[in-house]
Amino acid sequence: MKLIRYGLFALLALGCALGSVHVKADDAAGQQTWPDLGSTTHRAHAYVWRGSVDESVTVYVQGGKCWSKVETGRPAEHVYFEVRTPLASSAATISLKHIFGRGTITIIQQPKADNKYTLAFRIDDPASGRGDYRLALDW
């Protein structure tokens, strides 16, 4: 009975930890990384991203990792991403589906050997204040 009680407590603590994920700054240059929250949504796409952007942010994807760089404005907030299929270490053509957002989302770098198979897309939010964005990528 004690084992079951401690096991349930451990599961509850893990659930609370996963539910309170915070954006972590990597360095003073404005780069950030976010954990993969493991959602079961958007299973039809290789990669999904959503967040809140104020002005311009570039998001990079390499393998199963994701990070961003502020171009202008403030860092992205309320960011969630899910990598369903890690980006391979081979050249690939990426397709982008702009699901939601008032500005533009543009692929600015396709993965190739000379960029260590890193994809980059830029979100430009033209209006004042933060705008919410959702997108899906396939490869």
Residue 32 has pLDDT above 70, yes or no: no
Q: How confident is the model at residue 38 (pLDDT cuts 50, 70, 90)?
A: very low
DSSP the chain: -HHHHHHHHHHHHHHHHHHS---EE-STTSEEE--B---SS-TTSSEEEEEEEEEEEEEEEETTEEEEEEEEEEEEEEEEEEESSPPPSS----EEEEEE-SSEEEEEE---GGGTSEEEEEEE--SSS-EEEEEEEE-
Across the range 79-97, mean pLDDT stands at 88
**Residue 76 domain-assigned (yes or no):** yes
Is residue 11 within 8 A of residue 19, CB to CB? The reply is no
Interval 39-86: pLDDT, tens: 444 457 899 999 999 999 999 999 889 999 999 999 999 999 998 888
Structure-block tokens of residue 21 = 């994920």
| Structure confidence at residue 71 (pLDDT) | 98
**Residue 9 domain-assigned (yes or no):** no
Interval 115-139: pLDDT, tens: 999 999 999 999 999 999 999 999 8
**Residue 30 domain-assigned (yes or no):** yes
Beta bridge partners of 52: 77, 132
Interval 108-117: pLDDT, tens: 999 999 999 9
Residue with tokens 């954006």: 23
**Residue 7 domain-assigned (yes or no):** no
Across the range 87-104, mean pLDDT stands at 90
| Structure confidence at residue 43 (pLDDT) | 58
How many domains, the chain? 1
Across the range 2-10, mean pLDDT stands at 41
Residue 104 has pLDDT above 60, yes or no: yes
**Residue 4 domain-assigned (yes or no):** no
Structure-block tokens of residue 59 = 């998001």
Is residue 26 within 8 A of residue 33, CB to CB? The reply is yes
**Residue 11 domain-assigned (yes or no):** no
**Residue 1 domain-assigned (yes or no):** no
Q: How confident is the model at residue 37 (pLDDT cuts 50, 70, 90)?
A: very low
Q: Which domain holds residue 79?
A: 22-138
